[in-house]
Amino acid sequence: MKVLITGGAGFIGSHVADGYLAKGLEVVIVDDLSRGARDNVPAGARFQRVDLRKRAALEKIFAQEKPDVINHHAAQIDVRKAVREPLFDAECNILSSIHLLELAVQHKVKRFIYASTGGAIYGEPETLPADEQTPVLPITPYGISKHTVEHYLFLYQKLYGLPYVVLRYGNVYGPRQSPKGEAGVVAIFCQQMLQKVTPTIYGDGKKTRDYIEVHDVVRANIKALTHGAGGIFNIASGMATTDYEVFRTVRDALGVRGIEPNYAPKRPGEVDHIVLDVSRARSGLAWRPQVGFRQGIRKTVDWFKARLR
């Protein structure tokens, strides 16, 4: 089986590529390296540097590679950038996805696995945890663009019979996460504290997120190859963790003493509280989270320590 992974040089996509290769799959990675890194591409994968907005380049790759499965991780993921530049967000996340869907139908792809968001898609739910039936009311263009593609997937399945699986991720963290930009608070805190910079928490430290370690996400992507066709699944821990708990857990794992975070105003587009119900993934994907938060933070801290020596 040949899988084409978009965004496969990025944090999550490169781990998924590792997981697929370990299962004996043939992997082709497409990435424009705007956020990903060439060093993240596994040695066993073929790499094509392509901007997904460029239809002609994508057509050549599909004609050459003839993939069986598309695993779509490439995206504009910065919530604050989406607020500032909604047109750019839509170009990257909606228009590029339509290119892929059309080519998937044209080349008779057997399954389309889509990395969506559970952290931004539900907005501020009235009740928590949010399950897949919770009303989708995003408060950022990023959440809107990611959800829009879910509708296109449903449409392309109805019109053309394209099988798909949607994975709505919580806040993914782990080794290889980039501390650059505004996304990835675990990575940002790790690097800052290792460099003796005091981290800043935006808000009062009580905002909650549902954190999921990247290797748990990889296992969900492996399950999605054979399970859950036509389904939408939350992929998360099912546990709420405050911003301050993230800071404290990273601080303790690093063995840093005597510091407390700085505080700044909450930023536009950020939800106050989100935690996800993962019951459907347990039944429909035969998947459940296995990596505890402290264990995952320790693995992440160890990676950053080795990298910054």
Three-state secondary-structure class, residue 102: helix
| Catalytic, out of 20, 114, 122, 142 | 142
Q: Residue 204 CB: number of other CB atoms within 10 A?
A: 13
Backbone angle region of 262, left / alpha / beta, with phi > 0 → left and psi within -120 to 50 → alpha: beta
136, amino acid identity: V
State yes or no: is 263 an active-site residue. Answer: no
Count the residues in the chain: 309
Three-state secondary-structure class, residue 276: strand
CB 234 within 8 A of CB 276: yes
Distance, CA of 206 to CA of 28 (rounded, Å): 41
Residue the block writes with tokens 């869907």: 101
Active site residues: 142
